Chains A and B, each alone.
Chain A
Amino acid sequence: MPEQPVDVGPGGENVAGEAPAAEPETVTDDAILHDDDVELERTIGLIGGLAIGIGTMIGAGIFVFPGLAAASAGLAATLSFAIGGLIALLVALPTSELATAMPRSGGGYYFISRSMGTAYGAIVGLGLWLGLMFASAFYLVGLGHYASAVFAELNIALPVSPVIGIGLLFGAVLTALSIGGTENTAKLQNVVVGVLLVVLTVFLSYGVLDAVGVFGGGTVPEQFFSRGYFPVLTTAALVFTSYLGFAQVATVAGEIKQPGRNLPLAMVGSVLIVTLFYVVTIFVATSAFGAERLGEFGETAMVEVARDFLGLPGAVAILGAGLLATFSSANASILSASRAVYALSRDALLPRKASKVNLRYGTPHVALLAAGGPILVLVATGRVELLAEVASFLHLIMYGLMCVALIVLRRRNPDWYSPSYRVPAYPVVPAVGAIASFGLIAFMQPASIGIGIVVMLASYLWYRYYAGDVTLKGDL
């Protein structure tokens, strides 16, 4: 059982007089050990880690984006997704190294605060929390679209579009369920992800065979860059929300068994798997209808694609899968957001009260409400693309900084830094990862960039006001 030393304890106090909680003594494959024989058990295996990553990601890229992406980039949207996947991979590799060196809860926030200092940590940590809220809101609006499609399928005409109402309802239900301490949500997540992957594999295999002409049609129809080259990059920026899940694996790094092995496998594995599924999905979807018509179908375009291939049963299957996928993505994001609140309050960047655990249910009700409440406000805006882009923006900042953090740590090489996984082709991979992450931001809409910058600025000001004296950087 390899034991790893951990970084030297943080210090300082926030305005409420709370100091960051002490760092553990040792970190092993099975537990995190604090002094006085107190241990935190690691209970999530490789499958669980993959399910968190894939479960968070698969909802958006396959069930919400195909129509939107095809409308703006045509068949070349496949390339947009491939670019997104490549950037995610370039970041997932450095993240894996950081996570094996510091397998503790908090993910990107933890790595950055310990290597680059409290200010960067605060911006990223608060940004991660808010970014996850934007992401959850985006998944919930997607869920609303699928639920409305169910009504349409049943020929029930509603006077007003129920999309936002349903999104709000599910947002409230999810928050309540999490606070109530639903048992076995992780096992359920594993099953949901398994079912989704099977349904999609069957559907996409059929779709690919059809697209290349095995069943007659043979309709790889249009010019690849039908909208030109530039939209490929703006679309990549838009759909990057589909790749946020691997970072959620890092937020539970403290609970993963054999983190040295399972964390890199879960993060890199989930990115590779969903990239493959995304690219094939867009290819199949655009071959079925052509980008023009696909774009008209909007958020639930995949239902029409399935209907085209497999008739009503296909449409029903994809409707069900879409509901499941968006639901599980939203659920995973709310839980990650509450983990982020915990990590921040542990480090005295948020009031300690924020991570208080409910006596009756054993759940962090304050953190969950702090995630669930604002999500409802965001859902109410109903702006799918804006929500997605702001979530992407905040995550891209974190991703870029994680790559920088890796380079900083490697150069400083403190005693406690001994990752069991090392990034290949250092420093090329993290450097390119950082440049690509920051670079992708340039292709977003001005409104998303503006909101993102406001969030970062507010995070920084909060840190200066509330926790200016706290130091988190490990072992200088």
Chain B
Amino acid sequence: MTDRQSILVPIRVLEGESVPEGVPELLAHSHVVLVGYHVIPEQTAPGQARLQFEDRATERLDEYEEMFEGAGATVERRLVFTHDGQKTIDRMIAEHDCMAVLVPNATGPVEDVLVPVRGAVGVDRLARVVASVFGAMDADVTLYHVAAADTTDDDVQTLLSGITERLVEFGMDPSTIETRIDRDRNPLDAIVDVAKSFDTVVMGETDPSLATFVFGMPATQVANRFLGPVFVVQRERASADEDG
């Protein structure tokens, strides 16, 4: 068994977003950092919104905290009033040292987990999250890679067995781990397509580039198109990002 990993669960607490069905059970073996946040327009001072909405938001968070604790998770919580939701989420990831962010969507009991793997970068963190969240559940994990034309099946197999080994090292039963390789497809479409027959997806965050700047992070795009919950495993932060 690995230690409980910190998973960030951001909820836009005053805009009707709630903890969807199945999510507390999904995180039963995790340390949940529950962040209720409320984004306010620039005309409003954050303190002004707090004056009016704090009680209501706290009430909701109390309720959610109970749901997570009832399922077995340990919970830490925050309520933030902000002009910039992304900044708040980034700060929370850094302050609470979160391994992954959960994009919460409803799910039934989790039986099949899809883990798309891009390359060798960040697989250690990916494995840690998968093992700690699902290790103690009876879920089947499928490691999935969409191979480029110039990589051989052997290369991919090496990559995926490497991860399998890590998962076993972290205490997972090897019989629950499968691998799957696809070729000649747009990785993003392929992942969304394959994910349909799975209950949840765990994938790594990619480094920001021009393409991610224009189209958004692949993980975000998957989260938008896949209807179940998505764990976005955070890349290692070298140092605090500079502000603009």
- Is B45 in contact with A41, judged by CB distance below 8 angstroms? no
With A40-B50, A43-B83 already in contact, the answer to whether A181 and B244 are too (CB < 8 A) is no
**With the chains together, A278 CA to B244 CA distance in Å?**
27
Stretch at the interface among B51-59, B174-182, B192-200: B51-59
**Chain A: minimal CB distance from B58 (Å):** 7
Does A254 have its Cβ within 8 Å of any Cβ on chain B? yes
Does A12 have its Cβ within 8 Å of any Cβ on chain B? no
Report B-chain residues with C-beta under 8 Å of the C-beta of A355: 48, 51-52
**Chain B: minimal CB distance from A53 (Å):** 16
- Is A186 in contact with B42, judged by CB distance below 8 angstroms? yes
- Is B52 in contact with A356, judged by CB distance below 8 angstroms? yes
- Is A258 in contact with B243, judged by CB distance below 8 angstroms? yes
Report B-chain residues with C-beta under 8 Å of the C-beta of A361: 41
**Chain B: minimal CB distance from A30 (Å):** 6
Identify the closest chain A residue to B77 (Cβ).
A37
Cβ contact of B45, chosen from A45, A181, A254, cutoff 8 A: A254
- Is A38 in contact with B79, judged by CB distance below 8 angstroms? yes
**With the chains together, A30 CA to B243 CA distance in Å?**
11
Cβ contact of A105, chosen from B47, B54, B78, cutoff 8 A: B47
- Is B78 in contact with A37, judged by CB distance below 8 angstroms? yes
- Is A185 in contact with B40, judged by CB distance below 8 angstroms? no
Q: Most chain-A CB neighbours within 10 Å: which of B43, B78, B84?
A: B43
**Chain B: minimal CB distance from A249 (Å):** 14
Does B80 have its Cβ within 8 Å of any Cβ on chain A? yes
Interface of B is mostly: mixed
Report A-chain residues with C-beta under 8 Å of the C-beta of B244: 45, 47
Report A-chain residues with C-beta under 8 Å of the C-beta of B50: 34, 38, 40
Report B-chain residues with C-beta under 8 Å of the C-beta of A182: 41, 43
Interface residues of B in 73-104 (CB under 8 A from A): 77-84, 87-88, 91
- Is A39 in contact with B78, judged by CB distance below 8 angstroms? yes
Does B44 have its Cβ within 8 Å of any Cβ on chain A? yes
- Is A105 in contact with B45, judged by CB distance below 8 angstroms? yes
**With the chains together, A364 CA to B51 CA distance in Å?**
12
Does B49 have its Cβ within 8 Å of any Cβ on chain A? yes
- Is A41 in contact with B84, judged by CB distance below 8 angstroms? yes
Identify the closest chain B residue to A30 (Cβ).
B91
Report B-chain residues with C-beta under 8 Å of the C-beta of A136: none
- Is B83 in contact with A41, judged by CB distance below 8 angstroms? yes
B interface footprint on A249-263 (CB within 8 Å = 1, 0 otherwise): 000101101100000
Stretch at the interface among A157-165, A211-219, A338-346: A338-346
- Is A39 in contact with B80, judged by CB distance below 8 angstroms? yes
With A47-B244, A335-B43, A338-B43 already in contact, the answer to whether A362 and B79 are too (CB < 8 A) is no
**Chain A: minimal CB distance from B36 (Å):** 9
**Chain B: minimal CB distance from A204 (Å):** 28
With A38-B54, A41-B88, A364-B48 already in contact, the answer to whether A185 and B81 are too (CB < 8 A) is no
With A36-B58, A40-B50 already in contact, the answer to whether A363 and B83 are too (CB < 8 A) is no
A interface footprint on B115-137 (CB within 8 Å = 1, 0 otherwise): 00000000000000000000000
- Is A357 in contact with B52, judged by CB distance below 8 angstroms? yes
Identify the closest chain B residue to A363 (Cβ).
B43
- Is A21 in contact with B51, judged by CB distance below 8 angstroms? yes
Does A132 have its Cβ within 8 Å of any Cβ on chain B? no
With A39-B80, A43-B83, A255-B83 already in contact, the answer to whether A362 and B46 are too (CB < 8 A) is no
Known: A21-B47, A32-B47, A181-B43. 20 other contacts (CB 8 A): A21-B51, A31-B80, A37-B77, A38-B79, A39-B80, A40-B80, A41-B83, A41-B88, A43-B83, A104-B47, A105-B47, A179-B43, A186-B42, A252-B45, A342-B45, A346-B48, A346-B51, A357-B49, A357-B52, A362-B40
A-B contact pairs, 29 of them (CB 8 A): A36-B58, A37-B77, A37-B78, A38-B78, A38-B80, A38-B81, A39-B79, A39-B80, A40-B80, A40-B81, A40-B82, A41-B91, A43-B83, A47-B244, A184-B42, A186-B42, A255-B45, A257-B243, A258-B243, A335-B42, A339-B45, A346-B51, A352-B51, A356-B52, A357-B48, A357-B49, A357-B53, A362-B49, A364-B48
Q: Which 6 A-B pairs have the closest CB atoms?
A: A41-B82, A40-B46, A43-B83, A181-B41, A43-B84, A363-B43
